[in-house]
């Protein structure tokens, strides 16, 4: 975990391992870069004239041992065309700069990118986003890797910026939540199973005494009538868990967050193709995000009451597995026909959403890697958002824009509900070929009548695909932005 501090010295005087400054295309220097250029006898301008530093957005150039400077290294980051510079280009430049730091033997970095004017964004926004970008880039997954020789690594980042003195505390708390969510998502399923998630909740409560944990076991689920959650879990040797984390930062009705915790998803009897199935360890990233939010809220001591609920199970093929055409009874009393065992996330969520209503939530939000259809619709850039409450949807969309952890609203019209109709139960667990993300939301909506509820489908945003892809920790930043706005 990085430490964040404010800078008081100017670029030529700061005694950090490395100084970061930005330059625009067309040989235009930012004020911090101009100061370094003057102190070095015009070195930056000469490098731009020669083309060694080009200013293209996100490009980086590392300079060593420049006379006249206290820091032994300078990283020059391209900001693109000044007339087109905006929040997106600022974030890209900042992220690329911190990615480039990861391989360097440095302990401290001093960034002056936060001095650059970003249209429609204030100093607090620049400081928060820069700190989160730095910690995101610094994160390394090591849990199941061979121990490597110790090397010098980045420990702290200093930022030059005006603004609220508490903003770095917020950044540290959110960064801790994002890290926890990423780590849980990245762990292999033979480690991170339902029991492990329960253990991690107890560990969180030991770190954060404001958090109380309850774990609902299989026997109690049967007593409660959680037939949907139990059906999904019955093909696995690992028993299901319903993990409840209650953060009592204030009295009153809570915000309740429900995160899908399928710790591995084979698809069940409707088994998935082998190619890419290894990524289904990430199918619990909704649960991981709930853990991350509780961690961040408790670290920040937010004066809110927040309850996090994570139904955790494995979806496995076995002689005891639930089958296509089974009819199961949910905790809410609905009879559901199973048309596809790979539409399991909504089944564990529906019982958890019903259970959540015992807390009389002020707001109820579920977070789930729910549908491939959402990935087809929105790709990896935006989470899918569905809600019948226009005000809540607007609040979350704005929080997404502010945090740059964005969502896009999809309709939840009654017109789509007919796709769930069946002649053998109250409704089916899938709605057919078309509008799969929306009909999944329609399914969940049947279990949230009368609630101020929203559904976030993070199937495209929860992890980066590929052999080296890792969990992203989304949408912890969006939810924390929204929660901080409630205070």
pLDDT digits (tens, 9 = 90+) for 368-418: 999 999 999 999 999 999 999 999 999 999 999 999 999 999 999 999 999
Q: What is the mean pLDDT of the chain?
A: 96
pLDDT value at residue 164? 63
Stretch(es) of the chain classified as CATH 3.40.220.10: 3-160
127 secondary structure, DSSP code: H
pLDDT digits (tens, 9 = 90+) for 156-210: 999 997 766 799 999 999 999 999 999 999 999 999 999 999 999 999 999 999 9
Percent with pLDDT over 90 in the chain: 94
CA dist 478 and 220 (Å) reads 33
For residue 275, give Cα distances in angstroms to 46, 282, 376: 51, 15, 18
**Is 70 exceeded by the pLDDT of residue 453?**
yes
The verdict on whether omega for the bond into residue 475 sits within 30 degrees of 0, i.e. cis, is yes
**Is 90 exceeded by the pLDDT of residue 8?**
no
pLDDT band for 148, please (50, 70, 90 cuts).
confident
pLDDT digits (tens, 9 = 90+) for 21-71: 999 998 899 999 999 999 999 999 999 999 899 999 999 999 999 988 999
**Is 80 exceeded by the pLDDT of residue 215?**
yes
pLDDT band for 359, please (50, 70, 90 cuts).
very high
CA dihedral 58, 59, 61, 62 (to 10 degrees): 40
In angstroms and rounded to an integer, the radius of gyration of the C-alpha atoms of the chain is 24
Pairing assessment for the beta strands 363-368 and 453-457 based on DSSP bridges: parallel
Q: Is the dihedral of CA 350, 351, 352, 353 positive or negative?
A: positive
Q: What is the CATH number of domain 3-160?
A: 3.40.220.10
Q: Is the dihedral of CA 329, 288, 258, 404 positive or negative?
A: negative
**Is 90 exceeded by the pLDDT of residue 442?**
yes
Output the six-digit token pair for 278.
Answer: 């290894």
The residues carrying an active-site annotation are: 272, 346
Helix (H, G, I), strand (E, B) or coil at 144: coil
**Is 70 exceeded by the pLDDT of residue 149?**
yes
**DSSP result, 163-189:** S-TTHHHHHHHHHHHHHHHHHHHHS-T
Nearest alpha-carbon partner for 386 in 406, 409, 369, 414: 409
**Is 80 exceeded by the pLDDT of residue 111?**
yes
The burial of 173, by beta-carbon neighbours within 10 Å (0-12 exposed, 13-18 middle, 19 or more buried), is given as buried
CATH superfamily entry for domain 176-486: Zn peptidases (3.40.630.10)
Stretch(es) of the chain classified as CATH 3.40.630.10: 176-486
């Amino acid at each position: 975990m990085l430490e964040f501090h404010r800078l008081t010295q100017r670029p030529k005087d700061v005694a950090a391992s490395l100084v970061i400054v930005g330059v625009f295309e067309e040989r235009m220097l930012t004020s911090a870069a101009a100061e370094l250029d003057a102190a070095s006898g015009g070195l930056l301008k000469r490098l731009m004239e020669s083309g060694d530093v080009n200013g293209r957005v996100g490009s980086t150039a590392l300079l060593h041992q420049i006379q006249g400077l206290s820091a032994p290294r300078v990283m020059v980051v391209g900001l693109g065309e000044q007339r087109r510079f905006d929040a997106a280009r600022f974030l890209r430049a900042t992220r690329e700069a911190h990615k480039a730091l990861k391989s360097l033997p440095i302990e401290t970095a001093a960034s002056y990118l936060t001095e650059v004017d970003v249209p429609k964004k204030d100093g607090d926004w620049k400081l928060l986003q820069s700190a989160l970008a730095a910690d995101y880039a610094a994160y390394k997954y090591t849990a199941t890797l061979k121990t490597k020789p110790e090397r010098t690594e980045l420990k702290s980042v200093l930022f030059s910026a005006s603004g609220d003195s508490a903003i770095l505390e917020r950044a540290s708390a959110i960064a801790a939540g994002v890290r926890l969510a990423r780590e849980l998502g990245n762990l292999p399923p033979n480690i991170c199973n339902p029991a492990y998630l329960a253990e991690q909740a107890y560990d969180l409560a030991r770190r954060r005494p404001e958090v109380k944990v309850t774990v609902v076991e299989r026997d109690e689920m049967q007593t409660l009538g959680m037939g949907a959650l139990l059906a999904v879990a019955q093909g696995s040797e690992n028993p299901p868990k319903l993990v409840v984390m209650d953060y009592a930062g204030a009295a009153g009705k809570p915000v309740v967050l429900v995160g899908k915790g399928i710790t591995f998803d084979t698809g069940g009897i409707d088994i998935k193709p082998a190619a890419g199935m290894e990524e289904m360890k990430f199918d619990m990233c909704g649960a991981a995000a709930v853990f991350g939010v509780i961690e961040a809220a408790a670290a920040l001591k937010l004066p809110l009451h927040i309850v996090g609920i994570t139904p955790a199970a494995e979806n496995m093929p076995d002689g005891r597995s639930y089958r296509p055409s089974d009819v199961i009874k949910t905790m809410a009393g609905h009879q559901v026909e199973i048309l596809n065992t790979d539409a399991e996330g909504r089944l564990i969520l529906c019982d958890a959403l019903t259970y959540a209503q015992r807390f009389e939530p002020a707001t109820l939000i579920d977070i789930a890697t729910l549908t491939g259809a959402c990935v087809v619709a929105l790709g990896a850039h935006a989470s899918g958002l569905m809600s019948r409450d226009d005000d809540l949807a607007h609040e979350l969309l704005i929080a997404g824009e502010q945090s740059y952890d964005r969502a896009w609203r999809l309709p939840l019209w009654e017109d789509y509900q007919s796709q769930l109709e069946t002649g053998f139960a109250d409704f089916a667990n899938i709605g057919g070929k078309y509008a799969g993300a929306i009909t999944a939301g329609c399914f969940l909506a049947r279990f949230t009548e009368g609630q101020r509820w929203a559904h976030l489908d993070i199937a495209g945003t929860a992890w980066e695909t590929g052999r080296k892809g890792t969990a992203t920790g989304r949408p912890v930043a969006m939810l924390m932005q929204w929660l901080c706005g409630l205070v």
